[in-house]
Amino acid sequence: PRPVTAATLSCRRYVAGGQCKSTAKLEGKVVIITGANTGIGKETARDLARRGKVVVACRDIAKAEAAASEIRAETGNQQVIVKKLDLADTNSIREFAEKFLAEEKELHILINNAGVMLCPYSKTADGFEMHLGVNHLGHFLLTFLLLERLKQSAPARIVNVSSLAHHGGRIRFHDLHGEKSYNRGLAYCHSKLANVLFTRELARQLQGKSQRRAGFTANALHPGSVHSELVRHSFVMTWLWKVFSFFLKTPWEGAQTSIYCAVAEELDSVTGQYFSDCQPAYVSPRGRDDETAKKLWSVSCELLGIQWD
């Protein structure tokens, strides 16, 4: 093996980015993490399981059980619970929420982490384009269904995993489901912009209602370019990820900003923000467009057949 030089180490440190320093405990608190069976979701679950109770919400139950039992063994926390959740099917989302609400009286942190990337054109069970359906609409509905429980448990936090890719996105209201034109890279960007706009509007609504309890926040984040399974739908990206793995974050490094947004004490009253490397980051002008955020909110409610007052 080649000797590790100072330059190599400093390059790795730069790539690794920020680290969550908070030692906050979550005793008696309940966290839901979607897509926590692999990648940054699994690392987020591993960290938070050292602090409190974690519900691992995943489509693939076998993978989720394997991840959960590994985390239980490592942390000694038996309160790592697996629940079935398929974000590409609103019936599954409603079923998950119903069961969770029947079993758990409190919910303190919701981490909307699961996502799809670079899928060939396909639709969810409800006819939504897959990226928009899973990355945005699925989490929008899940948050809606769990909001009252979060409110009752406040202080509470909603954490939406977005991406730097939101800079390349736009909300194409005339062709939301990509039926007129479709590019899988852009479809991912559009869905990540939707995450930022949803977070912005959700924070505005939570702040705007006087009956809301203090300390109820919603923030979004970019985890960094992470070596994970997210690129599995693209042979080229999978190959590039292997070749340039030195310049990519490990899943543990990629999970740091999610963990930071979930537990850092200094974020107790910070809401509607976007973070990267455990610090505030630049949001694209489209991601700051309040009119688009409001319109996306009402269109999302329409598509899902819900009334979010």
Model confidence pLDDT, tens digit, residues 209-250: 644 456 899 999 999 876 555 545 555 555 454 555 545 778
From the list 14, 182, 188, 274, the catalytic residue is 188
pLDDT (tens digit per residue) in 43-88: 999 999 999 999 999 999 999 999 999 999 999 999 999 999 999 9
Quick one: which of 71, 24, 18 has its CA closest to 44?
71
CA atoms within 13 A on the CB side of 45: 34
pLDDT of residue 239: 47
Angle at which helices 90-103 and 139-152 cross, to 10° = 20
pLDDT (tens digit per residue) in 2-46: 455 665 555 545 556 789 999 999 999 999 999 999 999 999 999
Percent of the chain that is helix, strand, coil (3-state, to 5) = 50, 15, 35
**Residue 186, C-beta contacts closer than 8 angstroms, at least 6 positions apart:** 168, 169
Biggest CA-to-CA distance, the chain: 61
pLDDT of residue 235: 53
Residue 274 is a catalytic residue: no
